Structure 1
Amino acid sequence: MLENFWFNVEYGVNHVLDINAYDHVLFLICLTVPYVFKDWKRIVLLVSMFTLGHTVSLILAAYSIVNANAQLVEFLIPITILIVAVYNVFTAGKGAQKERIGILFFTTLFFGLIHGLGFAREFRILLGDSDNKLVLLLEFALGIELAQVIIVFMVLFLGYLGQTIFRFSKRDWVMVISAVVIGLVIPMLLNSDFLK
């Protein structure tokens, strides 16, 4: 029982930290980069909204309530990353992440739903013929959340180093990191099977 629990949690962690599927990491980078350690409550809420979104998608997919076009979802995921990165570039240094918290939470939840649909096919394979779909889902979601905490901590830590040791202004840090993410996402969009 405990062995299955750890397998499912580790599967969730590995799914997020998979070097070949870095879209989840890019989204979390964009979500986190405008903040610093003292904003931890807001970050926890945002990341939890994202987790809630893709957990709801996985529940809907696991019980065959939703069956999305995989190519469309794989196209929409980089779009969500691009939207957040561009938003960061245009609002860097303006405090917009603190003012529009309702919109940020709603958008993050919605984008989580889209990212969750990207997990759906792989999650169905993990489920197999299991009768404990909900338990498996919660264990998998816990693994995803743990991986997200690792990524968020790394982004905040690198931001701290960049802004204190290397003296980047917060605005420049957000703009540079977001621009790098945009540069990584555009090829993902152009190579999408949905556009072919």
Structure 2
Amino acid sequence: MTTCRVRALIVLLLLLLPLPFIAVTTAAAHDIGDSRVIIAHDAVSWTALFTTAPTALINRLELLADRPPSRDLDEPKARSLLTAFQAELPAHFHIAIDGAPVPITVGIERLEFPTDVLRPAVLVLKVAGAMPENATSMTWQFDLLKSRYALQLAGRSYWLEGDEASPPLPFHPGPSETLPRLVVDYLQLGFTHILPGGPDHVLFVTGLVLLSTRLRPLITQITAFTVAHCLTLLLALQGVIALPGSVVEPLIALSISYVAAENILVRQMTPWRPLLVFGFGLMHGLGFAGVLTELGLPANYRLAAVIAFNLGVEAGQLAVVGLLFGLVLFWWKDKPWYRNRIVQPLSAAIALVGFTWTATRILGF
């Protein structure tokens, strides 16, 4: 075996090794759905309304209690289970004010299972506590979440990373955010939505890179994806389009499998692929539209925030393209064994991960 083939095999193994871990962590990252927190306070108390997907949260509590996860929940069953677990819920919220843990209460504020399947089920938990005198900041953590979610406090929006604790969040944050600062924040948010926060986006882009070995058609596809992603957010912002995560997330996973499977079945990019990528971009955008439009966009600069976010997404995707080009395409895209030794094995692994995500997101794990 030549030195080039040995190097190609090593790179392939390095690319394949993280896939089982990605399959597990990203499936878990989507099991709660779009979650958000809105905190209000006065001189004597504070209240947090925590919105999340009820079935996924109940399933996580059941798994922690070594109970099989419930399926086909309706509102009465969900309410009964939540009532049974209610005494355990405060232990999963870790709230500190000015660095000192504070006692809290947790109650069920609202629980809805709409008959319209296109509307998501919603659970709102009311978390409350006393406000210490002269308090300046709060640290928030909920240890049952894995995916990024938004928190609003004192007119500011913050993005928290799953079950990690937030930094100290000020009760009185000072002057309003300026447009340049907002643009920088949303550029960063868009970039980190891809790296490191979007393994599903990374695998989707990897699938595109494997078949499109020339940069121009590859950049065309990436840009079409980003334009569609931006369009979805703008339509959602106007209330024109909305789908629940229970529908969108399996479709996103299935789009990853489709792209990877097509890599195995065809030898070069098909004429219809840019259109398919545009359609997939619409779905991927829907996966983030709900929480971003409902909470994360400032009233005065919504359009600027959407554009900056999507430019960050584009930069993140181009970073993935550049990384793969430097690791793989530059060295081996013209080798006669490139398709058999790189494209097909890696595409098969990506397709398998995509099908795994599809199943776990449909089943609610």
Q: TM-score, normalised by structure 2?
A: 0.48
Cα offsets for 1:97-147 (capped at 9, x unmatched): 1xx32x1111110110010000112322211x5132211111001100100
Q: Given the alignment of the two structures, is residue 56 of structure 1 paired with residue 231 of structure 2, yes or no? A: yes
What is residue 200 of structure 2 aligned with on the other side? 23
Q: Given the alignment of the two structures, is residue 114 of structure 1 paired with residue 267 of structure 2, yes or no? A: no
Question: In 1, are the aligned partners of 2:242 and 2:290 still within 8 Å (CA)?
Answer: no
Question: In 1, are the aligned partners of 2:205 and 2:321 still within 8 Å (CA)?
Answer: yes
Question: In 1, are the aligned partners of 2:257 and 2:353 still within 8 Å (CA)?
Answer: no
What is residue 178 of structure 1 aligned with on the other side? 347
Equivalenced residues, count: 183
CA distance in 2, matches of 1:154, 1:119: 25
What is residue 13 of structure 1 aligned with on the other side? 191
- What is the deviation of 1:157? 1.9
User: Structure 2: which amino acid aligns with 1:31?
Assistant: L
Q: CA RMSD in A?
A: 1.8
CA distance in 2, matches of 1:121, 1:158: 35
Instruction: Tell me which of the two structures has the higher relative contact order, counting C-alpha pairs closer than 8 angstroms and 6 or more residues apart.
Output: 1
User: Structure 2: which amino acid aligns with 1:112?
Assistant: G
- What is the deviation of 1:168? 7.5
User: Structure 2: which amino acid aligns with 1:174?
Assistant: V
2:308 to 122, 139, 142: 139
Question: In 1, are the aligned partners of 2:250 and 2:359 still within 8 Å (CA)?
Answer: no
Q: For the pair shown, which has the larger CA radius of gyration, 1 or 2? A: 2
2:209 to 32, 41, 51: 32
What is residue 75 of structure 1 aligned with on the other side? 250
What is residue 318 of structure 2 aligned with on the other side? 149
- What is the deviation of 1:70? 1.4
Q: 1:168 to 1:11 in 2, by over 3 A?
A: farther
User: Structure 1: which amino acid aligns with 2:238?
Assistant: Y
What is residue 190 of structure 1 aligned with on the other side? 359
Cα offsets for 1:60-86 (capped at 9, x unmatched): 111211111211001100110111100
Consecutive unaligned residues in structure 2, runs of 5 or more: 1-178
User: Structure 2: which amino acid aligns with 1:66?
Assistant: I
CA distance in 1, matches of 2:233, 2:327: 31
- What is the deviation of 1:162? 6.0
- The structure with the greater share of residues assigned to strand is 2
Q: Secondary structure at the match of 1:65?
A: coil
What is residue 88 of structure 1 aligned with on the other side? 263
Question: In 2, are the aligned partners of 1:51 and 1:141 still within 8 Å (CA)?
Answer: yes
CA distance in 1, matches of 2:304, 2:203: 28
CA distance in 1, matches of 2:209, 2:282: 18
Q: 1:168 to 1:151 in 2, by over 3 A?
A: farther
- What is the deviation of 1:161? 6.1
Q: Secondary structure at the match of 2:300?
A: coil
CA distance in 2, matches of 1:177, 1:24: 16
Question: In 1, are the aligned partners of 2:205 and 2:317 still within 8 Å (CA)?
Answer: yes
CA distance in 2, matches of 1:140, 1:86: 30
Q: Given the alignment of the two structures, is residue 126 of structure 1 paired with residue 296 of structure 2, yes or no? A: yes
Identity %, equivalent residues: 25
- The structure with the greater share of residues assigned to helix is 1
Consecutive unaligned residues in structure 1, runs of 5 or more: none
Question: In 2, are the aligned partners of 1:33 and 1:159 still within 8 Å (CA)?
Answer: no
